Structures are given as C-alpha cells and as structure tokens.
Structure 1
Amino acid sequence: MEKSAHKNTERLHALWTRLAAWVKRPYTNLYRIALPMLFFGGLCLALPPWVGLVLFAPLAVVLGFKTAFAIKSIVSLDLVSLIDDAGVPCLDTRKDRLQRAWALGCAGIAVAVSLALVLRTVLGTFPQIEIPEAVLTYISFTAVLISGFILFYFLALRFDKSVLRGLTSITVTLPAFFIVVVVASILLSWAMRALAAFGISAEGMLQDGFDWLYEVQRILGMATDYFLKQDSIIIAASIVLAALLLLLYTYSVPYYWMRSVSRWLKGISLVAAAFGAAVIVFAGVWLADVQQFAAESASGQLASAIDSSVLDSQASSLSQYKSDDLIALIKAFVLPYTVGVFVANAVVALRKGKAKTVSDGIIDRFAADGSVDEDELPALKKRYLYYGGSQTLWDIALRSIGHDIPLPYPFAPRKLSIKERITGELEDPPPAHPHDDEAKAAETRS
C-alpha cells in the first residue's frame, strides 16, 4: 500500500516537473496550443455553465504563467541574436517576433474563451438579468473590434510586413475595420465567382467555412448604422477604444519597429487632418456622391458580398443626410484617430527617450570605467543595438578604451547630411566596398 502511494507521489511529482518545464519554455508553435485550446473551450461552452468554467480555469491559469515566462524571455532579449551581415553587425529578431506573435495569439484566445465562459456562467446563474439589445450591440462591437486589432497585430508580428503594421494602426476604429471586412467579403465573392466560371460550385463550401465573416458583417453593420446615425455612445466608444488600442500597440511594439510605427502614426495624423479639412470645403459636392454610392451599393457589387439588410439600413441613413450631417460624421470619424494618435505619439516619444537613455548609458559606462569585461561585451552590444544605438559611436567608444578597431573608410572628414544636421545624430557609414580598399591601397603605393 505504501509502495503504491509512493509510486503515485513520484508520478505526480514527475508530471508536475514536466508541466513546470513546459511552462517555462518559450512558445514553439501557435497551432499545437491554439487549436486544442479552441476545441477544449468549445467543449467547455457546451457543458453546464459552472462545469465548463471550472474545467477551463486551470488551463487558462497555466497559459497565463506560460505567457508571463514568454514575456520575461522577450524583455531579457534572450531571443534576439547578434549576427554579421556582410561585415556589418545587426540584430536577428525573427525568434523574438515569433515569440511575441505566439504569446499574443494564445493569450488572446485564452482570454476570449474565459470571458465567454464567465459571461455564460453569470447569465446562467442569474437568469433574471436582461441585457438590452443596444448594450449587446455595443459589447459585440467592442469584442469584434478588439479581436480584429489583435488579428492584424498578430499578422504583423508573424510576417514582419510594413503594410500589416499600418493596418494594425488604422483598424482601431469601427468604420475603418468595417471597410477591411467589406474588402475581405468582396474578395471572397470574387473567389466564388472565379471558381464558378470553371464549373466548380464553391459557394456553399466557402460559405460554410466563412460563416464567421458574415456574422462579423452583421455585428459591424449594426454598429456602423449607429455610427451613421451619430449615436453618442458608439462615437465615444470609438474614441476611447482607438486611444486604448493605439496606447497598447505603441507600448508593446518592439524597439526595432519604433521608427516604422512612428512614420505610420504621422501619416495617419496628416491624412486625418487633410480629410477633415477637405470635407468642410467639399461637403456639398461629396454628399450627392456618397448618397449615390450608398444607393447603388445596395443593389450592386457590394450586395453580392454583404448582407443586404446592412446596406439598406445604411443607405437609408445616408439618404437623409445634409451637408452639416456629413461634416459632423467625418469629424466623428477623424476624432478617434486624432485622440488616439496624440496618445500614441506621446508613448512613442517616451519609449524613444528611454531607448536613448539606455543606449547612452552603455556608452557612458565605458567612459566611466575606462574598460569593459570582454565576456559581457557581446551582450552589451546586442542590448545597445536593440535600443537603437549607433554602430559608429560604439566603435568610437571601444577605441577610446584601447580596443583595436579599424576606422571606417572613408571616416573623416566628411560632409554631414541634412538629416544629421537636423537631428544631431550621426548615421552609420556604409560598409567598405572591395574596390575602395583596392583604390586606397593603390593610392598608398603611389
């Protein structure tokens, strides 16, 4: 009996050890975790409310700890490596980006399923609670918008494309995300027509696989109708969500994306300002075109890709517009970007200031100590470059403490560029070309 109990204890200990080791390891794949978690979450949603919540809670806690350890490895730069690219040291950030994507995806799914189970449990325990339809619309709109933002953020991290970073910055408001869904719906409609031209009846097959897209259309269509009617709650929610999502985005993006994200934010603010000014001047001309486009869309190309009831409701709302209504609508559309980009730019400035403080601190440490531990040098260089440090200043700092580092060619004197004069920051010189070395050697011999 005692031997059996001892064996069970050893098995539990071994199981706990393996679980702890798995939690501490970084994510290696999204689908091996996300798909089983979605399946298990769907099973928990089908069970009685409290039973499903109790069964899913331990999994959510374990994934929470695993995500926390993943964030720890990201912050400590364990997944960023220093490589040599044609003689120029640079950072390899692929593992870091993928870890951020896997952690974001798994955490997002776990939170979504947990919230659904909690809401279902509360409503099941207290059936007397009645949520008004308008409130359900607001909640659904918020859930869809946040899910869309997380999806684009995940894709931007996964594929590291500038256009995806831009879409993540743009799709933080209701109308912009609705446009993205409309475009996706049109592309899906074109795909069905293309397959039908080859004699393949794919409409049912695609519709069964993309039912969620039509449900998203319905939710966004209802919320967009509220937006067109200038509902104060929807407009206020759009402003608050845009500010919060852009705050989350700019606070969590890696430092090596900071310049790209900053450029997108500046571009968005310029476009929003220009669009807002243009509509005040051309509101009377645009109004007729907008109304005509809305009326034709209900029976044209969009009708084959979007629920007709959504288009009919929005077309009827636009048909009653006056010039002042269109101006007010554009102001309501631009205001979330104006507020959100203002908040996001403040966060970008703070993070850039922090990055400069960290990188300058590493260089200042060389000057203060007069030496550096050779074993720590690779980690310091990786950290310095990660926080936006200049390779030229790094070489100068090492030469100042006695390291034999060759001068870049041509080193000095050289004419400063306009950007260097404005910002006061030296740019790294281009790598030396073999022909330059040969020319320099020939000049020395002569």
Structure 2
Amino acid sequence: MLNALDIQKACQLLGEMPPATAAAALSRMTAGEAAKLLVGLDDKQCARILNSLDFSQAALFLKTPPMNFSKAADALDEMTPEQVARILLEFNDLNYAGLVCRKFSVDFCSSVFACTHVLQPGETKDMMLNMNDIEFAGVVLFTMKRKVTDIKYITNMLSEIPEEMEANLLAKMLDQARKRMEFQNQSPERLKRLCDHMGEAKSEFLECQTPTVVATMMESSMTIPDAVELMQNMSGDARVEILMNGGMSEDYKAELTRLLAAASEAPPETLICPRCGFEGNPSFFQIMCEGQDMAQKAKLLAVMSEADVVKIFETMMDAGEVEEVARLLLVMDPPGEGKEAAEVLLEWHQTKADGEERVGLVAVAMNGIDAPEAKVIMDHYNGIKAELRASPTREGKGSQKIMKDAPPFDEFFLERIDVVHMKDIDRKNLPNICAPDSWLKFL
C-alpha cells in the first residue's frame, strides 16, 4: 500500500503508524525503498521504528542509499548508546560506522564507545580512526576515559594504533585536558554566576576547579542543602578533596558532611561491602574498602560524627581487624594531639553495651604498635572520663550528659519537697521530687 502512495503521503502515513506496524511494513520492502521512507521521517519517528526492527535490518536500512551517514547519525542519536553500538557493528563496515560516529556529539560518541561489553578494542579503534578527524577523536578519547571503568580496554585499544598516530591522538587528548584546566582559578563569585547557567553540567564543571575555590563559593553563596545536592552529583574523590582541602569553616563542614552521609543512607543507595559486610552509607565503603592509604582513611573519618566512626570500627572489630582500628585512631589527629581519637573512644564507651571492653581491646592494640600517640590518646580519654566523673555537666563533643537550656535556678526547691509522701512517688510526679538541672549544675 505504501508503495502506491507518493513519498510525502507514504512518510506521513508511516509516521502515524504504531512503531511495530511501521517496522513490519518496511520489512516487506526492499532496502532502498525502506531507506527512502526513513529519510523522509523526522529523527524521533525514525528512531522509534528502528527500535522495532532487529539490529541487522536497522543497520541495512541505515546504510542503503538514499540514506546517508548524517541522517543515520541523527536517527541513532535518539537511541541508547548500547543500541547504537550494536547497530554500528551490524553495518559490517567500520569505515561507514566511523563516518556516522563523527556526526555524533562528543558526549554521545564517547558513551557509545564506552559500551565495552559490546565493542572490542579493535572495533572501537577502527571507528575512531575512520572518523577522519584526529582532533575530534582526541576529545572523544578524553571524554571516554572518564566513562570506561576498565582502563585496560583503552590501553588495549591504543596498542593497536600505529605509534605515530597514537602519539598524535594522545597529544589531542592532552590539548583537551589543558582546555579543561583553563576553567580553573575562577573567583568564587564568577564561579557561582557560571554555575547558575550550567544546569546539570555544573557538578562536572566544578570538579575541574580547585577545592578551595569551590568550598569558598559554597560557603559564601549556597545553603547547606543546596551544597549537598550539588556534591551528590560529584565523584567521591572530588567530594573528599573539597571537604578535606577546601578550607571550609568547621561548623559548615560538619553539617555538610552530616547531611551528605544522611542522604547517602537512603535505601536505594545502601550498599553492602563485599570485604567486611558493612551495610549503610556508601561513603563509608570508600573509606574502608577502596585502598586508600591509612592517613587518607583517617582524614576521612575525622570529618564524620563520632557515632558514624564507632559504627565503622564496630564492623571492623567484628571482622577481626582490631589492629587496623588502632592504627586508624593513631593517625586521626595531627601529631601530639589525640583529641579526636579520644572523643571517638569516649563515644564508643558511652553508647555501646560492650563499649568499655572494646575500647580496652583497642587500647591494648595501640600500645602493641608502640607509637607515642597511643599514650597521648589514652591520656586524653582518661582525662575526659575523670572530668565527667568530677563534673557531670561537662560540655564536650563526646559527652552524653550535656545539660542544655536548663530552667532558671529554683532556690525554694528543697523547701517544696521537704516532706514527700509515698503517694508522690509516682512516675508522673517524679519531676516534682527530682532536683532540676539548675540544682545539679549548682551542686
């Protein structure tokens, strides 16, 4: 029926059909007839019909005249990178595939090439070189490198390129890296104005800046919830750099870290560590399980709340890693201080049923390492405990006995409860016969 209509009417009718019906109609035509109709459709209509065809048939229609690689690229751009990668292979012509890829945007082309479960390194290499644009290929390679988790894939791909061409490609890739570096060292004010116009790209853009500038911009011009939303879209390494080296005020950093951890603990993002079995905040796994050196792990722990650190240490001890817990405590503070580690031990002691026993085991492990910091930490810890015994109202980060917002001092309290009848010893009357916080502070 479509063959009997003029091309304009046929394209209009084809575009109004359900994709599966249109695909079935094209399947009964010659490749040239089908390609002629597909060229007359808009890109979205064309992509919907191609989705209903098998990959080999879609590839056949996309490479048969009057179809050209520009129109083919426009239609493929409406599909997923994996679908596109499979259709490119079905061309059985990596030269034509390369010309089609050259018409993609850098981001989409790099996403297609990053489908390493579909494309072999040699196939990706051939398509990249067949784009006949070494500068574009260098930019794609630079962007692709950020998306491919297996770096050996890129290494294997480059190993198949002649050395002179590989050097040229890497030089273009380096040029692109330099261009990205030119965005650095913006003032915080200008950075904020730029970000306001960037939409979803601002997180990636901010990762190119120095941590100090980003931290200053956040603290000076963003609410903490907005900063949390922004940082959630950044890589883990970028978050750590900004938190640890950005120079934020302690209060802003502490609240930002707390909200980031809370956001990461949402059920869809909860992870279970394959090494230690810990379940919870993904940022914890970065600390415990991704191979940072001990000092970096300790720095990351130092920006967490004591309760979160204790939770991690409990998991490590359950896995028998008492000595590693001890080593982390020893490097949590600058040399000669030990206060952060002592506060963690105090939190552990006060909030866990077996906290005192576990703190004792860790103390023995620290002494066994024979580091001078062990004595400093335990001196602080024992000093805080002694201070708490002497003054239950000690204001301290690790104390669970802080009494805030106490009522005004009641000098007649003792006279009011001079005579207490047994009937008053009732749960609901306890406030009437117990000394208020103000008296405890006075005593």
TM-score class, shorter: 0.3 to 0.5
Normalised by the length of structure 2, the TM-score is 0.32
For CA contacts below 8 A with separation 6 or more, give which structure has more relative contact order: 1
Normalised by the length of structure 1, the TM-score is 0.32
Q: Which structure has more helix as a fraction of its residues?
A: 1
